[in-house]
């Protein structure tokens, strides 16, 4: 299959990400695997190196990395409106499910021990494993980069804090600058993002101003909607390390002021594990049940928008500056080092939380191995493998 070139349509972006939003189970690391298979392997919207560059950028930024990667891919494919379409398609399905759950109209109940849910955890092992394998073959083809990836994975497994990801990626870039400059002075200057510097600067200024000004305005203006917006905006602005890291931030924002009880918070978190798409859509559930204004489904959409606005501002705001760095002669070594560190990051995540939460017995490993074979060698579409793995998990639970 030849690489697709040119811009795509908004409808195309919306349709592809909508399907991913309905089938991408397994959490943020698994989402990166689904994205890679869809946009690098299948549709060829990006090559391996460009995709790794986007992942590296979004690992540097605060916020939900997988959602930001999706926004960036949408921008690459169809401009800023394409980024919005990508976010809408990937995010809204799970947001709707969690809003409905908040209204108690879905009879999900306690799904923590459901066989089908365990099957979805198992297929995430196959998806992430395939992503690590494919990216390692392309981005770590020699001994120095393979060594950097392994050391990065070991460091992340030994030092499990949100700051460790940023530190390891930064160290990878520094080592790449020192060790990989000789063979990588021509990284290629093709633009990843069709975003101008003026728009980017305005987005960064708006992000910084909003983050600083909202707490100050709250001291003067007594407004519950403003307080809710500030709480979710700040949570989306200050979290590093993936969707699960935002949970304590959100809990500290919504439980102490009695907007949500702790029992309601935990129940919503359990439901969020059972739906596809990004974990940040948990905010839609919280906004719906909020004991204040706004509430109901408008409150759910309000909270969802507030927590995601920082992601848009940061991705769009950093886009042209990241392109400028990529285009500089000599920066190729930095990018190769960063990309090797990203492979190590995914390898560490393959073990925790993906593997340890899914592989409990030999039958689980057999199911994961079968899913990996269907994806890697038989080239079955991910959505079908997801469905079969859910059925397989249910069958194993009934044995």
pLDDT digits (tens, 9 = 90+) for 138-180: 889 999 999 999 999 999 999 877 678 778 988 998 999 888 8
What is the model's pLDDT at position 1? 41
HSE toward the beta carbon, residue 34, CA cutoff 13 A: 32
Q: C-alpha distances in angstroms, 107 versus 97, 112, 353?
A: 11, 14, 27
Lowest mean pLDDT among 152-166, 233-247, 306-320, 361-375: 233-247
**Banded model confidence at residue 280, pLDDT cuts 50, 70, 90:** very high
Task: Report pLDDT for 175.
Answer: 94
Q: What is the pLDDT of residues 178-187, one digit of tens each?
A: 888 755 444 4
- For residues 59 and 345, the answer to whether their CB atoms sit within 8 Å is yes
Q: Which of 201-205, 335-339, 353-357 has the highest mean pLDDT?
A: 201-205
Q: Write down the pLDDT at residue 245.
A: 62
Band of pLDDT at residue 353, cut at 50, 70 and 90: confident
> What are 231-244's pLDDT values in tens digits?
999 999 987 655 66
Lowest mean per-residue pLDDT among 74-88, 243-257, 342-356: 243-257
Characterise 300 by phi-psi region: left (phi > 0), alpha (psi -120 to 50), beta (else): alpha
Pairwise CA distance, residues 231 & 149, whole Å: 37
Q: Which residue has the higher pLDDT, 120 or 231?
A: 231
Cβ contact 177:337 at 8 Å: yes
Confidence of residue 109 (pLDDT cuts 50, 70, 90): low
Phi, psi (rounded to 5 degrees) for 162: -55, -35
Q: Is the pLDDT of residue 189 over 60?
A: no
Residue 393 is inside which H or E element, if any?
Answer: helix 382-398
SS3 label, residue 47: coil
Instruction: Note whether 282 and 268 are within 8 A (CB).
Output: yes
Q: What's the pLDDT at 236? A: 92
Residue 2 has pLDDT above 50, yes or no: no
Binning pLDDT at 50, 70 and 90, where does residue 294 land? confident
pLDDT, greater one: 268 or 12: 12
* CB atoms inside a 10 Å sphere around CB 125: 27
Residue 111 confidence class, pLDDT cut points 50, 70, 90: low
Q: Which of 373, 386, 388, 336 has its CA nearest to residue 130?
A: 373
Mean pLDDT calculated for residue range 289-314: 92
CA pair distance 350, 122, nearest whole angstrom: 11
Residue 382 token pair = 């991910």
Mean pLDDT of the chain: 86
Tell me the C-alpha distance between 189 and 282, whole Å: 38
CB neighbours of residue 351 within 10 Å: 15
Count the helices and strands in the chain (H runs, E runs). 17, 0
Enter the tokens of residue 99: 């809003």
Report residue 131's pLDDT band, with 50, 70 and 90 as the boundaries. Answer: confident
Higher pLDDT, 209 or 127: 209
What local confidence, expressed as pLDDT, does residue 329 receive? 65
Looking at residue 104, its pLDDT comes to 73
Q: How confident is the model at residue 12 (pLDDT cuts 50, 70, 90)?
A: very high
pLDDT of residue 393: 92
């Amino acid at each position: 299959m030849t690489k697709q070139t040119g811009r795509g349509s908004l409808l195309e972006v919306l349709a592809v990400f909508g399907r991913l939003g309905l089938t991408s189970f397994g959490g943020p690391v698994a989402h990166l695997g689904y994205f890679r298979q869809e946009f690098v392997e299948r549709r060829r919207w990006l090559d391996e190196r460009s995709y790794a560059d986007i992942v590296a950028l979004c690992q540097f930024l605060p916020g939900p990395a997988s959602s930001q990667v999706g926004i960036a891919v949408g921008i690459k494919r169809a401009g800023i409106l394409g980024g919005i379409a990508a976010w809408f398609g990937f995010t809204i399905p799970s947001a709707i499910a969690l809003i409905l759950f908040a209204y108690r109209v879905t009879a999900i109940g306690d799904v923590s021990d459901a066989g089908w849910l365990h099957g979805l955890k198992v297929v995430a092992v196959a998806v992430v494993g395939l992503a690590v394998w494919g990216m390692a073959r392309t981005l770590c083809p020699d001994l120095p980069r393979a060594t950097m990836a392994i050391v990065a994975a070991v460091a992340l497994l030994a030092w499990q804090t949100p700051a460790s990801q940023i530190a390891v990626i930064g160290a990878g870039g520094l080592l790449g600058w020192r060790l990989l400059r000789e063979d990588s002075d021509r990284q290629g200057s093709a633009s990843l993002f069709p975003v101008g510097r003026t728009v980017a600067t305005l987005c960064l200024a708006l992000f910084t101003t909003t983050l600083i000004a909202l707490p100050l305005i709250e001291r003067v203006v007594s407004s519950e909607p403003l307080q809710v917006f500030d709480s979710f905006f700040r949570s989306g602005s200050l979290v590093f390390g993936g969707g699960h890291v935002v949970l304590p931030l959100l809990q500290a924002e919504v439980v102490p002021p009695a907007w949500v009880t702790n029992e309601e918070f935990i129940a919503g978190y359990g439901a969020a594990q059972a739906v596809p798409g990004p974990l940040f859509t948990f905010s839609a559930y919280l906004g719906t049940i909020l004991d204040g204004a706004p509430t109901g489904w408008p409150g759910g959409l309000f909270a969802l928008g507030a927590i995601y606005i920082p992601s848009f501002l940061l991705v769009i705001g950093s886009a042209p500056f990241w392109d400028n760095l990529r285009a500089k002669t000599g920066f190729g070594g930095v990018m190769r080092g960063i990309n090797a560190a990203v492979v190590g990051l995914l390898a560490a995540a393959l073990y925790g939380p993906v593997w340890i939460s899914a592989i409990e017995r030999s039958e689980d490993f057999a199911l994961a191995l079968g899913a990996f074979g269907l994806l890697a060698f038989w080239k079955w579409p991910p959505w079908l493998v997801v469905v079969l793995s859910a059925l397989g998990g249910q069958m194993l639970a009934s044995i």
